[in-house]
Amino acid sequence: MSYLEYNIKTVPTGARKVFFLNWPLILLLAAVSSVGFLMLYSVAGGAVGRWTEPQMQRFGMGMVAMFIVAMIPIWFWRNVAVLAYIGSLLLLLAVEFFGTVGMGAQRWIDLGFMRLQPSEVTKITVVMVLAAYYDWLDPKKVSHPFWVLLPVVLIIVPTGLTLIQPDLGTAILLLAGGAIVMFVAGVSWWYFGTIIAGGVGAIYSVFASRGQSWQLLEDYQFRRIDTFLDPSKDPLGAGYHITQSKIALGSGGFSGRGFMQGTQSRLNFLPEKHTDFIFTTLAEEFGFVGAASLLVLYGLIIFFCIASAMTMKDRFSALLVYGIAATFFLYFAVNMSMVMGLAPVVGVPLPLVSYGGSAMLVLLTAFGLVQSAHVHRPRGR
């Protein structure tokens, strides 16, 4: 069903739209963001101005953006998806040439009032363009090799651009987020099976090649892999961050050290404690109870998104909501895996909690799209 077939009458109009917003989702987003404010307050050692206040301002801006986006009919967003995608690609290219180098990677464009990370924006525009693509594509052709190749190209181009920044975390999120949209759109299991099998095979052969004449990676690259697999081998070098992060997390215990009592974060044993490693501070100060609660909040956000998506009759809305939910999921799943030592350290923030303007704005805008899809979904004829 394309947007042309919407029965306009079943869609709320004007200010009435507000009543049809997915309010539980909004409350959940506010709750998670509040956890973020609290933790930023804590890691700043009780200072509001350092991180909490700017984060709150961005949350406010993000909320406004979300409402605006939500009020605009979803079919408008479908129509601008390709434009948005091309725009974000241009921004990524702009970063290559005019970007500010921060943390050893070119990531930002200074817009004057804020620094924008185009890679964050790209995560959403890729999902949008893929949803629009599958909305346009005849469902019977989704598994046709040519029609599979096209979205793959759509994903690979921005992924490649972020990789050369280099921003491995975003690249992974782009790749996985895009793949998930393709998966939900109904691309045959065979493709995914083959890719996964190929990946496993490649990893296996890389390890098997070690010490052989046909060694595929350099020695130092192997050492990095070793460090990830067993950080204790190099506790003061590359393994330091992950070791300290695990200590902080584990030492939280069941109920935690108490608010502002986390010694690991207080004493700077933790790296990047206000951004990528903020979850360890939460886990240290509020323990298993706090960490699991945040996980439940995240889970509920995913649940409400999927529940909403299931009621959507048009393909763009559904795929968009699944895609955004999946991207959101990937954010916190990768971040948490990373700080718990389940995944290598790649720069992925904890969504809505980590300090960072672009991610906050982009995520809330993306949830505006989810809200728009929710508000403008056709209701019983």
Partner 1 sequence: MRQHPKELEETQRLTTRRGLVLGGLQLGFMGLLGFRMRQMQIEEADQYRLLAEENRINVRLIAPPRGIIYDRNGVIIADNSQNYRIVIVREDAGDVDQVIAKLKSIITLDETELQRALKEMYRRSPFVPVTLADRLSWEDFSRVAVNSPALPGITPEVGLSRYYPMTGDFAHVIGYVGPVSDYDLSQIEDPDPLLQIPKFQIGKVGVEKKLEVPLRGSAGNSRIEVNAAGRVMRELERDPGIAGQDLQLTVDARLQNFVQERLRGESAACVVMDCENGDLLALGSAPAFDPNLFVRGISSTDYQVLTQDRYVPLRNKTVQGTYPPGSTYKMIVALAALDAGVVGYRETVWCPGFYQLGRRRFHCWKRGGHGWMNLEDSLVQSCDCYYYDISQRVGIDRISAMANKLGCGMRHDIPMSAVAEGLAPTQQWKQVRRGEPWRIGDTLNASIGQGFTLTSPLQLAVYTARVASGKALVPRLVKTLGGEENGGEDAPALDIRPGHLRAIREAMYKVSNGRRGTARRSRVVAEGQEIAGKTGTSQVRNITAAERAQGVWKNEDLPWERRDHALFVAFAPYDKPKYAISVVVEHGGGGSKAAAPVARDILLFAQYGGLPPLEAYPSGQHDEIRERFEGLTLSDPRPPAPGRSRA
At 88, which amino acid appears? S
Distance of closest approach, residue 114 Cβ to partner 1, in angstroms: 31
From 84, 25, 36, select the one nearest 59 (Cα to Cα): 36
Distance of closest approach, residue 292 Cβ to partner 1, in angstroms: 6
- Could you list the residues that contact partner 1 (CB under 8 A)? 1-2, 5, 138-140, 180, 183-186, 244, 246-254, 263-264, 267-269, 283, 287-288, 291-292, 295, 298-299, 302-303, 306, 309-310, 313, 315, 318-319, 322, 326, 329, 333, 336-337, 340, 342
Instruction: Decide: residue 271, CB within 10 A, 0-12 exposed, 13-18 middle, 19+ buried.
Output: middle
Distance of closest approach, residue 117 Cβ to partner 1, in angstroms: 25
Beta strand 115-116 with 100-102: parallel, antiparallel or unpaired?
A: unpaired
Rounded to an integer, what distance in angstroms lies between the CA atom of residue 372 and that of residue 82? 18
Q: Are 374 and 78 in contact (CB under 8 A)?
A: no
Structure tokens at 302: 């995913």
Distance of closest approach, residue 103 Cβ to partner 1, in angstroms: 19
- For partner 1, which is the closer residue by CB, 64 or 296? 296
- For partner 1, which is the closer residue by CB, 129 or 180? 180
- For partner 1, which is the closer residue by CB, 89 or 130? 130
- Give the max Cα distance, the chain: 70
Distance of closest approach, residue 287 Cβ to partner 1, in angstroms: 6
Q: Are 119 and 165 in contact (CB under 8 A)?
A: yes
- For partner 1, which is the closer residue by CB, 205 or 263? 263
- How would you classify residue 348: left for phi > 0, otherwise alpha for psi between -120 and 50, otherwise beta? beta
Distance of closest approach, residue 246 Cβ to partner 1, in angstroms: 7
- For partner 1, which is the closer residue by CB, 345 or 361? 345
| Residue with tokens 């009032």, as numbered in its chain | 113
- For partner 1, which is the closer residue by CB, 52 or 308? 308
CB atoms within 10 A of CB 180: 20
Q: Are 335 and 346 in contact (CB under 8 A)?
A: no
From 307, 330, 58, select the one nearest 179 (Cα to Cα): 330
- For partner 1, which is the closer residue by CB, 105 or 282? 282
Distance of closest approach, residue 37 Cβ to partner 1, in angstroms: 22
